Amino acid sequence: MRYDDSPPLPESRSSISPDRPWFARRPALTVALAALAPTCLAGWVLAQVLTGSDSGGRQPEGMPLAASHTTAGSDAKASASPTPAPGTGPGTAASPAQSPSGAAAPAKGPLTGRTVVIDPGHNTGNFQHSAEINKQVDIGTNRKECDTTGTTTNSGYMEAEFSLDVSRRARALLEAKGAKVVFTHEGDRPWGPCINERARIGNEAAADAVVSVHADGASAGNRGFHVILPARVKGGAADTAKIVGPSRDLGERIASNFGRTTGSSPANYLGSGTGLVVRDDLGGLNLSTRPKVFLECGNMRDDKDAAQLMSPEWRQKAAQGIADGITGFLGG
C-alpha cells in the first residue's frame, strides 16, 4: 500500500526506451560504485564481528559499559572512574581514596596506629531476654548480672538506642582521624554482651582507650552528665592498679570536652559538680586492663535532659565531645 507521503516508486523497466538498455542511462561511475558497495559492506560487517567494537575497541555509543572488577595481582584496569563511596551524612567531604581492591583506604590522621574501643551500653533486645541477662557473671571482686535492660525516656526512647547512635557517630569522627575503632556490639545480637565480655573485648583489642556510652535513669529534676572512673580494686581477675591514673586522665578530658561541646552541665545530683564519679562495683571497669571510663550523657527521666538526648543534632555534639576527649587523651 502506498501512502501520499511515501517516496515515488522506482521507474519500471517497461518505461525505458526499447532502443537503449535500462542500465545504459546510468553513468559508468555509478554502476562501478554500485558494484563495489556490497563488497565493502560485507568487509565492514566482518571486521565488526572479529573486533567486537566499532573503532579501536571502543564500546558503541548507546551501549552500557560492562562492569569492571580489579583483582589484586591482576593487570586489569578499570575503564571508568570508580563510583565514590556514599558519605556518612550531610556536609561529608569527598570520599577517601580507593585501594586497588576497591575498598576505601584507611584515613590518615593524628590517631593513626591507635585503637579505640567503644562500648554502646545495653542492647534493645535485653527486654526480651531477662533470663539470659540476669545470669550472674564473675567480675573479680564480686558476681553481678550479665547485663541490664537500661532505661528509657518517658516517651519510650531506649537508652540502648541512644547509646548505639552516639557510639556510631563517635566512631565516624575517630576513624576520620585515623583511629581503628572496635565496637563491643553493633546491635545485631539478640541480647548482651555480658559485662565481662565487654571488658574482655577491650582487653583483647589492646585498646589505647575504652569508653562505655550510657544515659542515666535518675528521678526527674536530676540533670546533667557524669563520667564514671574505675576505683582501685584487686580480687580474682580484677586488678585496676595500672589503669586508675590513665583512666582518670581520659575521664577528665572527656568531661571537659563533652560539657563544652554540648553545652551541658556536670550532674547536679552526684559528683559534687565535677562530673566525675569513682565506682568499684562495675564489672566493665573492674575487669578492664586498658584505660576505661563510663559516660552517662544525661538523665533520660528528666524531660529537659530527655529532649536533648532525643535530638539528633545534640547527639552529634555528644559524639564530638567524646571524640575530642579521646583525641586529647591520646595526644592527637
pLDDT tens, position by position, 63-73: 333 333 222 33
Interhelix angle 312-329/159-176, rounded to 10 degrees, is 50
- Alpha carbon of 229 to those of 173, 224, 264, 281: distances in Å? 23, 17, 19, 11
DSSP 242: T
What HEC string does 42-74 produce? Answer: HHHHHHHHHHCCCCCCCCCCCCCCCCCCCCCCC
Q: Which residues make beta-bridge pairs with 138?
A: 143
34 occurs within a structural domain: no
* Residue numbers annotated as active site: 296
Tell me the pLDDT of the chain averaged across its residues.
79
235 occurs within a structural domain: yes
Q: What is the mean pLDDT of residues 252-281?
A: 98
| Closest to 174 in 3D by CA, of 120, 116, 246 | 116
Could you tell me the pLDDT band of residue 85, with boundaries at 50, 70 and 90?
very low
Q: What is the mean pLDDT of residues 199-204?
A: 98
| Closest to 326 in 3D by CA, of 293, 304, 282, 288 | 293
Could you tell me the pLDDT band of residue 107, with boundaries at 50, 70 and 90?
confident
Terminal Cα-to-Cα distance of the chain (whole angstroms): 84
d(CA 78, CA 67): 9
207 occurs within a structural domain: yes
87 occurs within a structural domain: no
Phi, psi of 175 (to 5 degrees): -65, -30
Query: Per the structure, how many domains does the chain have?
Result: 1
How does pLDDT run across 223-244, given as a tens digit for each residue? 999 999 999 999 999 999 999 9
d(CA 288, CA 203): 6
Q: What is the mean pLDDT of residues 191-206?
A: 98
Task: Dig out the grid coordinates for 330 from the structure.
Answer: 591520646
pLDDT at 248 over 60: yes
What pLDDT sits at residue 104? Answer: 62
| Closest to 282 in 3D by CA, of 214, 223, 220, 328 | 214
Strand 234-235 relative to strand 238-239, pairing: antiparallel
d(CA 219, CA 3): 89
- Alpha carbon of 49 to those of 45, 59, 291: distances in Å? 6, 13, 68
pLDDT at 57 over 70: no
**Cβ-contact 169, 315 below 8 angstroms:** yes
Selected residue with higher pLDDT from 150 and 43: 150
Task: Dig out the grid coordinates for 174 from the structure.
Answer: 575517630
Selected residue with higher pLDDT from 126 and 22: 126
What pLDDT sits at residue 142? Answer: 96
What pLDDT sits at residue 332? Answer: 84
Task: Count the Cβ atoms, other than its own, within 10 Å of residue 16.
Answer: 14
| Closest to 259 in 3D by CA, of 291, 224, 223 | 224
Q: What is the CATH number of the domain that holds 226?
A: 3.40.630.40
Q: What is the mean pLDDT of residues 99-126?
A: 84
Domain that holds residue 132: 115-329
How does pLDDT run across 207-225, given as a tens digit for each residue? 999 999 999 999 999 999 9
Question: Residue 189 carries which side chain, given as an amino acid letter?
Answer: R
Task: Count the Cβ atoms, other than its own, within 10 Å of residue 91.
Answer: 6
249 occurs within a structural domain: yes
What is the total residue count of the chain?
332
Could you tell me the pLDDT band of residue 89, with boundaries at 50, 70 and 90?
very low
152 occurs within a structural domain: yes
- Which residue shows C-alpha cell 551500653? 121
Cis peptide bond upstream of 193, omega within 30? yes
**Cβ-contact 302, 222 below 8 angstroms:** yes
pLDDT at 14 over 70: no
- Alpha carbon of 88 to those of 2, 9, 162, 321: distances in Å? 63, 66, 18, 18
What pLDDT sits at residue 105? Answer: 64
209 occurs within a structural domain: yes
How does pLDDT run across 160-182, given as a tens digit for each residue? 999 999 999 999 999 999 999 99
Among 15-24, 33-42, 122-131, 132-141, the least confident range: 15-24
Selected residue with higher pLDDT from 311 and 76: 311
